[in-house]
Amino acid sequence: MTKFRACIDIHNNLVKQIVGGTLTSALKTNHTSPHPPAHFSTLYREANVTGSHVILLSPDSQPAATEALSAWPGGLQIGGGITADNALDWLDGRGAEKVIVTSWLFPRGRVEVGRLEELVAKVGGKGRVVIDLSCRRVGEKWMVAMERWRRITEVEVCKETLDMLSGYCSEFLIHAADVEGLCLGIDEELVERLGEWVTIPTTYAGGGKEFADLERVERLSGGKVDLTFGSALDLFGGSGVKFEDCVRWNRERS
| Domain-wise residue ranges, the chain | 4-253
Mean pLDDT of all residues in the chain? 93
Phi first, then psi: give them for residue 97, nearest 5 degrees: -75, -45
* Residue 180 pLDDT: 73
Which CA distances in Å does 248 have to 47, 92, 143, 161, 226? 9, 32, 34, 34, 15
Q: How far apart are the first and last CA of the chain?
A: 9
pLDDT at 19 over 90: no
Asked whether the beta carbons of 52 and 3 are under 8 A apart, the reply is no
* Residue 26 pLDDT: 56
pLDDT at 1 over 70: yes
Helix (H, G, I), strand (E, B) or coil at 128: helix
Asked whether the beta carbons of 156 and 141 are under 8 A apart, the reply is yes
Give the β-pairing of 53-56 and 7-11.
parallel
pLDDT at 49 over 80: yes
The Cα–Cα gap between 181 and 13 comes to 19
Averaged over 26-55, what is the pLDDT? 91
* Residue 146 pLDDT: 84
Q: What's 205's DSSP letter? A: E
Class (C level, CATH) for 4-253: alpha beta
pLDDT in tens, 94-123: 999 999 999 899 999 999 999 999 999 999
The Cα–Cα gap between 199 and 182 comes to 29
pLDDT in tens, 177-215: 888 766 789 999 999 999 999 999 999 999 999 999 999
* Residue 20 pLDDT: 58
